[in-house]
Chains A and B, each alone.
Chain A
């Protein structure tokens, strides 16, 4: 099987601003999650894959073709862009029908297929309303509908889950999984790790325009597990809990606040720590009020990987 995407020394900059730097990789297909904090270069990478922009240096081949302004590529690719933009005066149905007709469909077939695509993303009831009346989540789903309506081999989706409520998010995740089962390759970006984890184990981590890591989520998790994680606990008796935690495996450091009502903990085994904490806290009668893991976000993960 030929690779879905091959990039060689791929770089893209916008004037003095660097978007991507020397990316060389091969992606085989399936669902690939593109992860990275804001400004990591995810959208630039997806725009290059979708053929919206061309590289400043290097090459990219998608399904064996140079994607920029390539009509054969567009016939096989669906692109759900990040920008929250639709033709506001069109109905959802007219919007998707119009774009299908541009893809070569007859008027009747396009309308029927557009209705099917809109039903698939959960917009059956709203397809006859103007898109300017849509909520953010509905607009997001209309964007996905136009990207999948023509039956692409590759779906490029830039932050498709942003702006969706949990139920809509679940339905879009299910839709993407359905498409993947139908053999559609999906390249999907997000800056939220757990969103992507629900979709795929295969991820590409970008940071500051470079590939930090590529592989399966467990491998990334292994990287993370070596990283001491912080836990902040607000409680009645921090000293008592600190005393009880000193000998807990994985605990590397304890920071007691001056008023002894909060405790900062560094642990190399966050899951083990969180599992053991309730019993330890109960024995110490520490009176826990709240607990936070401030470095659990993706930014912290990237900081760790970068440093």
Chain B
């Protein structure tokens, strides 16, 4: 266990020093900037939509439903795939370390990047939406805090899922896109408790439980029944732990065949 922790930390710190100036990070930065940019454009151009509603709508429809899974996909799916595509995984897998450390260390670095970008993106979205001069609910803590929390939680869970996908599938990016934008969308529209099989359901529950009134103007927040915030966080944490454990088990046994 000490070997796993030491190797994970070493891989994490090495990956952190590599990650900041990569092209992938620049792309993610642009992606994370889309939500604040949208909030600023809408807030600057409308005289009828109040700031709270702008933050809630941009926060949910663009940031949490699109940017969070997409950014987590770009970073998470690269955790293992990047080493395979660069054909450098040989160096890591020929060292006397638990192979799970490669997944965990690199995922932790991806998690830091995802969290920083999404946390800033959520906070800026709320801040820039507050520029709207339209009468109505302003951006308050009940908007900002749940938005930042949901962005961070969603980023963590999605990046973990997609990092694990890189262990199981040859093309985790395609699998992840299919999952985030097809399977989750399909399940979310099925009747009954099927929504409880999606990450989005728990993010929505977290916001619905802790958010202020403007969130209820967003479609889907007022009609359905949700979990409590604690239950949502716990469920997602357990799911993340299970998926990562399974991926750690798998990476310890799987061989990665590289072309010469």
Contacts and interface: CB of A to CB of B under 8 A. Distances in A.
Contact of A74 (B88, B96, B255, B258): B96
Given A14-B257, A87-B18, A71 B97 contact: yes
Contacts of A14: 257
Interface in B13-53: 14, 18, 21
B88 to A, nearest CB: 5
B1 interface: no
Interface string B78-110: 000000001110111111111100000000000
Contacts of B7: 102
Contact of A85 (B21, B88, B257): B88
Interface string A78-105: 0101110111011000000011011110
A99 B252 contact: no
Contacts of B257: 14, 53
B92 A53 contact: no
A284 B106 CA distance: 74
A54 interface: yes
Interface residues of B, number: 27
A93 B52 CA distance: 53
B96 A75 contact: yes
Contacts, number: 67
B35 to A, nearest CB: 29
B253 interface: yes
Contacts of B218: none
Nearest to B252: A69
B255 A83 contact: no
A86 B90 contact: no
A71 B95 CA distance: 7
A43 B260 contact: yes
Candidate in A68, A83, A146 with the most chain B CB atoms within 10 angstroms: A83
Interface residues of A, number: 30
Q: Helix, strand, loop or mixed for chain B's interface?
A: loop
Nearest to A86: B88
Contacts of A81: 87, 90-91, 258
Interface in A45-74: 50-54, 68-69, 71-72, 74
A77 interface: yes
A69 B253 contact: yes
B94 A50 contact: yes
Contacts of A101: 10
Given A82-B260, A89-B18, A68 B255 contact: yes
Contact of B99 (A53, A69, A79, A99): A69
Contact of A72 (B90, B91, B96, B97): B96
Contacts of B93: 52, 69
B250 to A, nearest CB: 12
A72 B95 CA distance: 9
Contacts of A86: 88
Given A53-B257, A103-B96, A83 B87 contact: yes
B18 A77 contact: no
A53 B256 CA distance: 7
Nearest to B21: A89
Contacts of B253: 69
Candidate in B87, B98, B252, B253 with the most chain A CB atoms within 10 angstroms: B87
Given A69-B99, A101-B10, A102-B7, A85 B94 contact: no
A79 B94 contact: yes
Nearest to B258: A83
A108 to B, nearest CB: 14
A98 B252 CA distance: 21
Nearest to B95: A102
Nearest to A19: B257
B94 A52 contact: yes
Contact of A52 (B86, B88, B90): B90
Interface in A102-149: 102-104, 146
B18 A53 contact: no
Given A53-B257, A69-B252, A87 B88 contact: yes
Contacts of A69: 93, 99, 252-253, 255
Nearest to B255: A53
Interface string B133-149: 00000000000000000
Interface in A1-37: 14
Closest 5 CB pairs of A and B: A85-B87, A71-B96, A102-B95, A75-B96, A74-B96
Given A14-B257, A79-B94, 16 more contacts: A52-B255, A52-B256, A53-B257, A71-B96, A74-B94, A81-B258, A83-B87, A83-B258, A83-B259, A85-B86, A87-B18, A87-B88, A90-B18, A102-B10, A102-B95, A146-B91
25 contacts: A51-B94, A52-B90, A52-B255, A52-B256, A53-B257, A68-B255, A69-B93, A69-B99, A69-B253, A71-B98, A74-B95, A77-B94, A79-B90, A79-B94, A81-B87, A81-B90, A83-B260, A85-B86, A86-B88, A90-B18, A98-B14, A102-B92, A102-B95, A102-B97, A146-B91
